[in-house]
Structure 1
């Protein structure tokens, strides 16, 4: 490096040091939402749109007879039998609606084509269903059967995943369930040769029946 080039470099360094340290980047506002507002102001409609976008099947049920008709239609289209249902409150509701179910675990491994469970919350942003091991369905009924049915209410819809997790904290406090899972669409993978396969790690189909609050 020639003397003139060296002097020029040193001059720029001295000039930079004289100007003081570079200004710090603006501090982010951690109170602002990460995501933009939902596309639909009605969180239930937003959930239905997101749920179907990720591959779920959504069925609105305005009454218990309507629920029975929707479940029967699903069973006929998919050519499946009655679902396994292990939650007492769910069993009572289905009995009142006239929906047949299997309450025990007889031949569960061999014949678990269909399982029906409740859920902890529904996330409108992602179309996810939050399930946990806290119910009588345990860990198995939402994962092992080939097809997973969920029965939920509009009041269970929240906007964001964070809202669902806060709900779990309020509900269970320090005694969180041993398993909490966000189910977003049917189980799928494309790990092998980028070929999409459904049902690789869980149910290959998920359907949600949203029953109106006053339907009892």
Structure 2
């Protein structure tokens, strides 16, 4: 977990929010002609070992899915075809090669961006996002992903909506700073993936519990690009 700073805004990978229906969760094995490549449990597979899809043809993502685990067959907008990637890697550089940024996720504390139970950016939150924009101004990127998270206080449904609204507020501000809206994707995970785990005791909305769960309230921004 890393806090945002004006001088240290490194870039992560990409994700595109999607909705999928049921499948068997298992480790995926992708057969590519003469070789077998093991993948983490990013996608559900059926009994044949083939990536499971819903009735609209979309792949089933497991809870372990991350942008770095995406495959071209399921997320073509995130991953180039293997042959395209190989061709790009083998092509001679016209001048100095662009330096790739080290993939790293940037996490903003929701308490720094918003008041409790609010999706309206605070002045300090605006300043933090402005610093983020300044940090990527020299970066060549395709997509920015803003993912909101909430703590476990309140209902699952409410927290899911709150996390989405917060991610959308972040997107709106980034757009106001000149970033193309078509390059920014948002998602809200609600109470999923809590940073605090089981370390915060209690369920009642007390000051102590709110403070303890603060790390769970966050917005993560991921960017992929080259300088």
Structure with the largest fraction of helix: 1
Question: Of the two, which has the highest radius of gyration?
Answer: 1
| Range into which the TM-score falls when normalised by the shorter chain | under 0.3
Structure-1-length-normalised TM-score = 0.24
When the two structures are superposed, what TM-score results if normalisation uses the length of structure 2?
0.23
